[in-house]
Structure 1
């Protein structure tokens, strides 16, 4: 019998549909146009009439008129995908059903070729968030205005946004770069673009880390330019190195005293001690960048000079340092004073040794002060990552030798002529 609904005539042949039951058609309906499901290919209509399957159930389909008029069987219609821009059917059962369909975003959403140009994705995760200016695919998404000019999906909206330090343009969302950028200061400070963005407008840099301080458009917010008596810029600190800096001795005294207390505690833990008059023979001061100038690539942070048989120790620490960096430097210089005090201050590895003592102060902060733990860990990582042979490599070797016996540090200095 003919499988066309309402016909009932005896079929004289069959249309062979691979992997689907054959559809029997009478002589008259074999001449009519056959419409197949655009997704799976089964016959769903003959002319304008519906057909039945092998179990004599009507194969329901939906016909779409227009430029892309298509049919879908009931099974494929249940998984139908529409273009979020115009509503046109573009897919079913995870496959395209019209030409020109483009999968967009993560997860992929099918968009017709006409609407593809208006599809806007999340800058941080690539999810499709809107079509054109008015159609929101993700109702929780937001569009950030200039200078950022990006869209974020609802999931990425609450994530941390890191701006360009020059113009404020968002360059990172979470850990994802959402715009071309140049990173400075251990990837904590960013400028947008290369030579075409703010990174191409840098006119002066930080004396400590070479991160930007001033652009051709002005000084970065939070950066400091240090002037001499003639109001000439003699040094500078980037926004990160300029936070809470110590520019006057009265503010720095409590931090230096804390390091002196540590030195006494550390020496005793190593089976030694500071002379009772040691503190009285230590003088210190904040010094300008020009007083502690390093080479063309680095800035010296501190200096210890021991004079006379009475061993008076004069220490200079660079001005405009953050408290913990100031203390790390003070610990290094006081270690020089201690080494000079006991007569071993000329060891070839002394700079690495003094960095080791400074690392013990930082570890003390990590162990005892939760509010400063992260900052201390970062400064400790700087010491460990220092590749300079005199300061870094020597420090790493000494740290390895004393890793299981830190209480032997003073004995090590007295008894070890070389670490090579």
Structure 2
């Protein structure tokens, strides 16, 4: 048995619950998928053209390990313009293969065996697994619907122990769409500063904020020197398949992350970096247009879900809704499985995002209004047949 050679922490990892339902749906006909968190927009043409042009000019070799300096300069300018926080592009910015890689190497750069990392749930499925693979111990804190799925400073304070090294925060949040405002972030920052805790701030959905501009944890007083800001181009610029992200933070941490990056990846794809440079320089209008469309879809889906009896708060960002399915009496897994089998609508059960996600489902509205309308009609029929 070859499994005897596998590391225990890898054997114990569960496969992604998101992919499970996506794979099931892909084998069925006439399915409306609200599952995978991926924009339905094609990457803006000017970005694609810039990538083509870079190939035509012969840019097919490695870049610097940290990425094209020109791109790192553009990222630094972008963050200063968007969040009023400045980074040295030569020492404090690292271009990665997606935001996921940035999170992975940030944890590996920070953690010693047994260090604890606070994870706010419901959350992206990779956080706890990445902590475990880095030798750390995930300590989960549940953000509840009663507080619009926003974690409180008191909850974080209660989770801190002498082994706490870091916290992973995501705002706007996947899967709930919750957005922490500047005041809420400042209250959390006070706890982190008091306990000397490093923050890994996943801000991949920052541009997709609908009711107010998203704030960055790094722009809060006292937090820039203890925050690793993680972001990328997948969501806001519709570049998921390009696999390009970045990390910005204190020099010593970014340089440590770069060492891991250079031994495992070498550098992010050169043609993708040229495309990202064009996105930052001339892609704001495309982001604004996509955000306007997402806002309309969000409002449509939230209204439809509440009308059919699935209580759903209005998310402030990202492109997900996280309705309660408790009125049906089903578990999240049962609801998702039956909905797919009976009505051919794919959603993600909330429990895959942590125990506190039980009783909810995640629906992505990153698809056309026509598809969303069909999905809501099918879900309404399903709920009418099953609600108690």
Query: TM-score per shorter chain, which class?
Result: under 0.3
Structure with the higher helix share, 1 or 2 = 2
Name which structure has the greater RCO, CA cutoff 8 Å, separation 6+. Answer: 2
Structure with the higher strand share, 1 or 2 = 1
Larger of the two Rg values belongs to structure: 1
Normalised by the size of structure 1, how large is the TM-score? 0.22
